[in-house]
Amino acid sequence: MKTGKVPLIEVRNVSKFFGSVIALKDVSMAVYAGEVMCLLGDNGAGKSTLIKILSGVHKPDEGEYYVEGERVDFDSPRDALDRGIATVYQDLAMIPLMSISRNFFLGSEPTRGRGIFKRFDVRFADRVAREELKKMGIDIRDPSQPVGTLSGGERQSVAIARAVYFGAKVLILDEPTAALGVKQAGTVLRYIAQARARNLGVVFITHNPHHAYAVGDRFTILKRGRTFGTFTKDELSREEMVRMMSGADELEALSHELEEFARTDAMHAKGKLSEVEQQLAESLERAAKTGDDV
């Protein structure tokens, strides 16, 4: 896709072991400026381990890590941050009772004045927080309102806007849409697209293929610690993506098994439990057929 250009970040054949557990094995991927790279995989596929390597939390046991073509060896998330790699974790690192602008600048407060008159520049903080959010397309009424009053999607956006403002070149977003409703997830997806438009490289972690397909340019699929490789949108249909991610065969097998349970249960008792299980089995089956995730 972007041949000839140097990727913003790239890992080559990285592996990570925790004791005897192989969390990640021979995984390679690259992220270029102005693209959304989706990192897909079921629970336990190694997504978290990979992003922890990218964000400097873990060091890879094997393989190399390059930032803008230069080999790096991060000791801490701070190192990664200094190279412009910002991670927005699922739990957000937002403090609900603090105002938006105070959250925005926590740890990097703007000051004015000198000596004992050096003070937190509240007006500057309010103005910048408001402007930066506006650039992401969110119009907040009052930057001094507590973050707790924002919806989940808006909070994600504040976290993204903060990372962008403090000079991130690469944004790593850890399941930003996981706990959100359909509409709010849509909002976050729009901000991801906006970040791309501002020429950032985005690593978008999700296990929802619909969300990935909506904004992704390229897709790296992980399963059980290994990678299926990286695909562009043309090379991969949504259905194939789902199949690779979770293994639709496994889903089918599971739904059959549940059906069997439901049948035997119904024979023994007509309790409500079997009804619930039957519904679950049906929905699983439907999911396996249509390629929907449950």
- Minimum gap (Å) between residue 124 Cβ and another protein: 12
Burial class (CB in 10 A: 0-12, 13-18, 19+), 159: buried
Q: Which is nearer to another protein, 10 or 126 (CB)?
A: 126
Question: Which CA distances in Å does 101 have to 18, 131, 135?
Answer: 39, 11, 15
Task: Indicate the length of the chain as a whole number.
Answer: 294
- Minimum gap (Å) between residue 56 Cβ and another protein: 12
Task: Choose, by CB under 8 A, the member of 102, 169, 196, 218 that binds another protein.
Answer: 102
Stretch that binds another protein, among 7-15, 99-107, 219-227, 266-274 (CB under 8 A): 99-107
Q: Which is nearer to another protein, 67 or 140 (CB)?
A: 140
Cα torsion for 52, 55, 61, 66, to the nearest 10°? 140
**How many amino acids of this chain bind another protein (CB under 8 A)?**
30
Question: Which CA distances in Å does 200 have to 77, 123, 179, 203?
Answer: 19, 28, 24, 10
Sheet (strand 62-67) strand order? 21-31, 9-18, 62-67, 70-71
Chain position carrying tokens 């910048």: 128
Q: Which is nearer to another protein, 36 or 159 (CB)?
A: 159
Q: Does 179 sit near another protein (CB under 8 A)?
A: no
Among 214, 192, 96, smallest CA distance to 145 is for 96
- Minimum gap (Å) between residue 165 Cβ and another protein: 13
Stretch that binds another protein, among 40-48, 114-122, 216-224, 275-283 (CB under 8 A): 114-122
Task: Choose, by CB under 8 A, the member of 5, 13, 111, 264 that binds another protein.
Answer: 111
Task: Choose, by CB under 8 A, the member of 20, 21, 97, 269 that binds another protein.
Answer: 97
Residue 233 CA to residue 219 CA, distance in Å, equals: 7
| Structural tokens at position 127 | 């103005």
Q: Does 79 sit near another protein (CB under 8 A)?
A: no
Q: Which is nearer to another protein, 46 or 56 (CB)?
A: 56
Q: Does 18 sit near another protein (CB under 8 A)?
A: no
Considering only residues 136 through 155, tell me which ones interact with another protein, judged by CB under 8 A: 141-142, 144-146, 148-150
Chain position carrying tokens 């073509």: 69
Contact by Cβ (8 Å): 1, 217: yes
Stretch that binds another protein, among 39-47, 115-123, 216-224, 285-293 (CB under 8 A): 115-123
> Where do contacts with another protein occur on this chain (CB under 8 A)?
77-78, 91-98, 102-103, 105-109, 111, 118-120, 122, 141-142, 144-146, 148-150
